[in-house]
């Protein structure tokens, strides 16, 4: 069974802080994703990565960056946290190929004060 682990379930940070959200998957998946989940807006893709050190912007990359130094780990970085980045953040991984499902972590509920 695929395991996607996000480092924190809940996180509270202050405006202007640099925030790191970590995600690890154990299935050797090539593709990894970071989403924001907000009520009424569904899931919005922030960044994704299709290989080590490779990254692509999603729909809402502003204010975020990512790092993928190892295949199993995909980090989301909020360079200078702002209150409008308060949200639920979901990490997912997926194998290459058509019709492959994405496997999600439990999510990190991030509050920026």
Partner 1 sequence: AQRVTQPEKLLSVFKGAPVELKCNYSYSGSPELFWYVQYSRQRLQLLLRHISRESIKGFTADLNKGETSFHLKKPFAQEEDSAMYYCALSGANSNYQLIWGAGTKLIIKP
Please report, as ranges, the residues that interact with partner 1 according to CB under 8 A.
4, 33, 40-45, 48, 90, 92, 97-107
Whether the CB-CB separation of 12 and 60 falls below 8 Å is answered with no
Q: Which two tokens stand for residue 105?
A: 């972590």
Q: Which of 78/90 has CB closer to partner 1?
A: 90
Q: Which of 44/71 has CB closer to partner 1?
A: 44
Q: Which of 48/81 has CB closer to partner 1?
A: 48
Q: Name which of 80, 103, 78 is nearest 92 in CA terms.
A: 103
CB of residue 83 to partner 1, shortest distance in Å: 23
**How far is residue 2's CA from residue 7's CA, in Å, rounded to a whole number?**
16
Residue recorded with tokens 């994704």: 48
CB of residue 101 to partner 1, shortest distance in Å: 4
**Which residues, 6+ apart, have CB-to-CB distance to 60 below 8 Å?**
36, 44, 45, 46
CB of residue 60 to partner 1, shortest distance in Å: 13
Q: Which of 43/77 has CB closer to partner 1?
A: 43
CB of residue 14 to partner 1, shortest distance in Å: 26
């Amino acid at each position: 069974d695929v395991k996607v682990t996000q480092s924190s379930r809940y996180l509270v940070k202050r405006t202007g802080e640099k925030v790191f959200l970590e995600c690890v998957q154990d299935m050797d998946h090539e593709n990894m994703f970071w989403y924001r989940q907000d009520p009424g807006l569904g899931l919005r893709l922030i960044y994704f990565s299709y290989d080590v050190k490779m990254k692509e912007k999603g729909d809402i990359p502003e204010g975020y960056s990512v790092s993928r130094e190892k295949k199993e780990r995909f980090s989301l970085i909020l360079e200078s946290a702002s209150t409008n980045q308060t949200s639920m953040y979901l990490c997912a991984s997926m194998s290459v190929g058509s019709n492959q499902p994405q496997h999600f972590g439990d999510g990190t509920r991030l509050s920026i004060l």
